[in-house]
Amino acid sequence: MTVEYDKDLSRHNTFGLKVSCACYVEFGSEDELRKIYGAAGEFGFPQPFLHIGSGSNLLFTRDFPGTVFHSAIRFVRPLDSKEKRPGEDDVILVEVGSGVLWDDFCAWCADRGLWGPENLSGIPGEVGSAAVQNIGAYGVEVKDIVKEVRCLDVVTGEIRILPAKECRYGYRDSIFKDTAKGRYVVTSVVFMLSSTPAPRLEYGHVREAVEKVCGPVPVPASQGNSCSPGPDTQSETEWPEALTPGLVRGTVIGIRDSKLPDPSVTGNAGSFFKNPVVPKSSYSIVENYAKGRYGEGYSVPHFDMGSGFIKIPAAWLIEQCGWKGYLEGNVGVYEKQPLVIVNVTGKAVPDEIIALENKIVHSVSEKFGITLHPEVEHV
């Protein structure tokens, strides 16, 4: 366990904001984590407590007055077949420590020809944060491959194993961010992977880019669970020999790099806002606006969620309000992706980012009657 006081957090948030915390603690095992909570009086760490990963989905709104904890639990461990449930013969289970960099795990899988997280390649952050946030990209969410999450219950001091169902995963949401926020500290995650090809290529330009390399790729009649191919879907499909998790991973990273700024160069937290899910009546307002501006043949990008709800890309709404490429002081909106707020000069302070966030939310609400909500957690 390492302990530092008056810690500069500039390198622990991808916005690169110069903020600090009263105390910073890094733990390397569940035993150390237990000691932190079981003997808080002995250590005397200042409260409140905050657990972070790489700070890739955080906006520090000010200096943090308490203790910031970070996991240094780092391992990748394939599990024995005895830990599988009936019907999981084709599933490869792998347990990963919460402090492992998410993209390092994606690379580990691709190097071994294992399918599952390849569409999520290039997302910054760590495995523990990925399970808390339910990260998603290119048609896949991490919940699709999570079997269970191992965590410390800080109320009881016991280690709990939560099956994915009990994590109550939703769009960029989970029990860890909602009803049980602050109660559980993730120490490791068990993922369900597959050596049987299970490509998800239908989102964005992934299929187009992949097929330039390996030729036409069939679309299974039913995708099913990406890591549990059924007898008449992935397992019986004839896939091109060149189609590998590594190919999909490289394709996704290439697309991401062409659209998103590198946080090591330009401070940002990736997608700042969630894509709003609205009733069809609200979508009709957006559609009428678009047809009036671009013509009757124009189709607003959207995804039918069923039950009368439509998901609209927040980036499209923000761009319609004129924010793409906007600059103001030390902050701005990325010129290639309006969903990303950037620390342009590297000298931004939290209030500048919050002010720009509020202006964007107000303009979208005024034009479309839709309220955007941040994906980035404000601390």
Q: Which of 121, 271, 352, 357 is catalytic?
A: 271
148 catalytically annotated:
no
User: Across-strand partners of 78?
Assistant: 94
112 catalytically annotated:
no
DSSP state of 115: B
Q: Where are the alpha helices (DSSP H) in 16-134?
A: 30-38, 40-43, 102-111, 127-133
Look at the block and give the residue holding tokens 């020999």: 241
Q: How many helices and strands in the chain, by DSSP H and E?
A: 9, 20
Cα–Cα dist 132/164, whole Å: 11
What Cα–Cα distance (Å) separates residue 101 from each residue in 65, 74, 125, 138?
27, 9, 6, 19
**Closest listed residue to residue 65, CA positions, set 32, 35, 22, 102:** 22
Q: Which of 95, 352, 357, 375 is catalytic?
A: 375
62 catalytically annotated:
no
> What residues contact 329, with CB distance under 8 A and at least 6 apart?
348, 352
What Cα–Cα distance (Å) separates residue 200 from each residue in 29, 203, 204, 251, 268?
35, 8, 11, 12, 27
- Angle subtended at Cα 307 by Cα 303 and Cα 312, rounded to the nearest 5 degrees: 25
SS3 of 198-225? CCCCCCCCHHHHHHHHHCCCCCCCCCCC
Q: Which of 150, 172, 249, 256 is catalytic?
A: 172
Active site (catalytic) residues: 172, 271, 375
